[in-house]
Structure 1
């Protein structure tokens, strides 16, 4: 199933928030992404309907197995591409912004080649 870039961004942010805060609610996502609460609510409804997140009675959001798989893939791409760009001399803010653009469209083959290059030549894991 193909997933849209915006959904990948939401899943990645949920993962990031979960790592830093432990529990995630819609308001946390809205604050992090600088989106309105209604926009986040609509996105979360779609993510839930597609089986990527669960939302309990207290409003806490967790990633399903498929949601976690996507989030971890996108997060790994973002992290590695950011580190590569910074190693090449790009400032951190620009590197992170550019990584966010690239992470969604890069083929598996290209990303694996970049990952191997970084591991061998730059000691970036």
Structure 2
């Protein structure tokens, strides 16, 4: 049975995708900083993501998205960008103010 992709899973997959683009792998301490959560929370969530086949984890090297995780991360990023466009192009909100709102909207569309 396929697990529901929750807000938390989406946030982690999006963060891992962005870190991978920048650094080739996402280290857990980078996730702690990026997501502003406790190290233990990242460890537990990384273990869950690996169990559910969203990522592969190599100790001391970091995590990488699997094909399944990458697919979901790209969907989240697309929704984020669409949310940004809605907020700037249609609602005329200043670009420097849309990121937070787009983060909330991306999970609802």
Q: Give the shorter-chain TM-score range.
A: 0.7 to 0.9
Shift of 1:19: 1.0
Cα distance between partner residues in 2 of 1:23 and 1:98: 27
TM-score by length of 1: 0.77
Match of 1:80 among 47, 71, 82: 82
Shift of 1:100: 1.3
Match of 1:24 among 16, 23, 26: 26
Contact 2:27 2:62 (C-alpha < 8 Å) held by counterparts: yes
Contact 2:13 2:72 (C-alpha < 8 Å) held by counterparts: yes
Mean CA deviation greater in 89-98 or 70-79: 89-98
The two structures, once aligned, show a CA RMSD in angstroms of 1.4
SS class of match (1:84) = helix
TM-score by length of 2: 0.88
- Superposition pairs for residues 15-94 of structure 1, below 5 Å? 15-87=17-89, 88-94=91-97
Stretches of structure 1 lacking an aligned partner (at least 5 in a row): 107-125
Stretches of structure 2 lacking an aligned partner (at least 5 in a row): none
Aligned structure 1 segments of 4 or more residues deviating by more than 6 angstroms: none
Length, aligned pairs only: 106
Cα distance between partner residues in 1 of 2:108 and 2:15: 18
Cα distance between partner residues in 2 of 1:97 and 1:34: 14
Larger Cα Rg: Structure 1 or Structure 2? 1
